[in-house]
Structure 1
Amino acid sequence: MKAAVLEYGKLKVKDMPEPEARAGEAVVELRTAGLNHRDLNIPNRWGNDKEALILGSDGAGVVTAVGEGVTNVAVGDEVIINPALRWFDNSPAPPQGFDILGMPDHGTFAEKIAISAEQLEKKPAHLSWDEAGVMGLAMLTGYRALITKGEVKEGDTVFIPGAGSGVATYLIQFAKQAGARVIVTSRSEEKQKHALELGADRAIDTNSDWQQELAGETVDLVIESIGRATFNRSLDVLKKGGRIVVFGATTEDTVDFDLRKFFYGQYQLFGSTMGSRDEFRAALKLIADHELHSAVDRTFALDELEEAFAYLKEGKQFGKLAFKL
């Protein structure tokens, strides 16, 4: 089968053996896979001396085979892959043995994947294959950060720096379903416009003076993923006693901030990453019940691997990128 792999430090498309379903597993013939920033970082983490690893965390497709003991899915089922491996019950942090699909396990940038049937959920009927195939990692990350950790509630004002990320597009929709007011930032006027169309109440320029722009707002919750470039600016607009949840760092990982100011302000700081199967199912139910959609910016053929990676690295997309398989 055709697959996109990292092999001895090089990205390439090559033929790989077709997978077979062992006990407890299912084979999924993938229709679409989603590209994430995580995929950009794996070449640095995997090393230059290892054999082919199929990349990709997100995907959706049709079950074509099931192994012994599988009862939750059957041949012909349309499914979404949960990329949070072996984290089933909601807990304060991931359990021992947790990994994200796509390293060290083979991922979704292939025509087929064999995976534990416990990682599969039924695709909501209203979603297209493109929408379903890109949602797993970003949807789950956004749900846990906003709802489990952030405890968003009706009437809250939620501030989200970086409106164009895949996670942000789910954050906007989930926050609106919770009855919150949503404010986002972007340097791009086009991305600001898309965020407003998706449901955001306000969109401001990332390069503007946030304290001045938001002088009339009371920000209850900040969802941060950018890092050093925005962390202190986000803290400056958060109300005293407010909550800030950090799930990523697309700029530098380390941040300096004023501890005295922080504890006098009684701020609450939470870390978050991915989520449990309980949360994955709750997020899917929310999407199905309210017929929410993924924001898909562009789709690529698998042979356009390098072009897709370059496009993601440029950061011009609003929402998610997909591979058609």
Structure 2
Amino acid sequence: MKAVMLPVAEGPHSVRYVDVETPQPQAGEVLIRLRFAALNRRDVWISYGTYRGMKLPVILGSDGAGEVVACGDGVEHVQVGDEVIINPGLRWGDLEAHPSPEFEILGMPTNGTFAQYVVVPAEQVVPKPQHLTWEEAAALPLAGVTAYRALFTRGRLQPGETVLIPGIGSGVALFALQMAVAKGARVFVTSSSDEKIARAMELGAAGGVNYRRDDWTKQLRQMMGGADLVVDGIAGPGFVQLVELTNPGGRIVSFGMTAGVVPELVMRQVFFRQMDIRGTTMGSPRDFARMLELYCEHRLRPVIDRKYPLSAAGEALTRMDKGEHFGKIVLEIPE
């Protein structure tokens, strides 16, 4: 089969489009003929070798959708011909509060979805939502469940609350925007791009500011008041301003740190104002199921930035690395 392999971790340009042996399902597993796969920031980081415990070579990719073409022994709830999407969070465990020590994400160290076929445990596949195209279905899993858990499981979002989403344009941020608006929240965004802010407002954001402006926090405060919930994947030096923009009793949920570590944090503001700062990553099987229910109930559709052939995965990763995208970048898998 054709696949996108990372033989060395030297950045997006180091991936290779190669022929590899088609995997076969073992007991409890299914073989999926993929139609589309989708990129995540995680794939870029892996290409640079920033993940601990990396094992190379590896087929990248956590997100995918396709058809079941073979089932291993003991598989009962999935049949050949089923159209499915993949929950990429492997071995979450029995606790809702956090993943088990055995938790892994498809695509490192386990071979992932940037290929014509992938083998996964049967419990990791769920029916493809009928209202979604193949590319939309492939775009949803990792970023969608991350956004859902950040908003609802960890963030305890309630209708009518004000939500701030910094750095609009990434998959998680846009999924969070869509779901928060669907649940009746007032959502504000930040970006370094006025165009991305305008597009977010077309998707339901109540407003947004460009954080390259010197007075961006003042402008945002005047626009939204304070935030009841901040869903942040950036961290870095700007995290201190997020604390200042959060209401007393408010919550900040952090799912990433694309801008690096937080250099300082004024703890006095956190404890005197009774704030919660919570971490989150991925989501449990229950989070995944509830995320799909929300998307089906409200007929939501992932925002697709650009579609590439599988053979151009390096070009697609470079686009994500440069931060040029608005929405999900997807890969079309050849027949």
Distance 2:93 2:169 in 1: 29
2:271 is matched with which residue? 263
Listed one character per residue, the Cα deviations across residues 42-82 of structure 1 (whole Å, up to 9, x for unaligned) are 131469x9652100000000000111111121111110000
2:5 is matched with which residue? 5
- Closer, same or farther in 2 for the Cα pair 1:280/1:89, shift >3 Å? farther
Q: Is the 8 A contact 1:59 1:80 kept in 2?
A: yes
**Offset at residue 247 of structure 1 (A):** 0.4
Summarize the alignment of residues 207-286 of structure 1 with structure 2, pairs less than 5 Å apart.
207-208=212-213, 209-215=216-222, 217-286=225-294
Selected match of 1:37 from 20, 24, 41: 41
**Offset at residue 215 of structure 1 (A):** 2.7
Listed one character per residue, the Cα deviations across residues 278-310 of structure 1 (whole Å, up to 9, x for unaligned) are 100100011111110000100111111221111
- Closer, same or farther in 2 for the Cα pair 1:240/1:281, shift >3 Å? same
Letter in structure 2 aligned against 1:7: P
Summarize the alignment of residues 62-81 of structure 1 with structure 2, pairs less than 5 Å apart.
62-81=67-86
Q: Is the 8 A contact 1:90 1:275 kept in 2?
A: no
**Offset at residue 103 of structure 1 (A):** 0.6
More deviation in 207-216 or 227-236?
A: 207-216
**Offset at residue 211 of structure 1 (A):** 2.9
Selected match of 1:111 from 111, 116, 131: 116
Query: What residue ranges of structure 2 are gaps of 5+ in the alignment?
Result: none
2:187 is matched with which residue? 182
**Offset at residue 90 of structure 1 (A):** 5.4
**Offset at residue 213 of structure 1 (A):** 2.8
More deviation in 225-234 or 88-97?
A: 88-97
How high is the sequence identity, in percent, across the aligned residues?
Answer: 43
Distance 2:178 2:91 in 1: 27
Query: What residue ranges of structure 1 are gaps of 5+ in the alignment?
Result: none
2:203 is matched with which residue? 198
**Offset at residue 86 of structure 1 (A):** 1.1
**Offset at residue 240 of structure 1 (A):** 1.2
- Closer, same or farther in 2 for the Cα pair 1:306/1:243, shift >3 Å? same
How well do the aligned residues superpose, as a CA RMSD in angstroms?
Answer: 1.7
Selected match of 2:301 from 285, 293, 301: 293
- Closer, same or farther in 2 for the Cα pair 1:215/1:89, shift >3 Å? farther
Distance 1:151 1:157 in 2: 12
Normalising by structure 2, we get a TM-score of: 0.93
Q: Is the 8 A contact 1:90 1:277 kept in 2?
A: no
- Closer, same or farther in 2 for the Cα pair 1:111/1:54, shift >3 Å? same
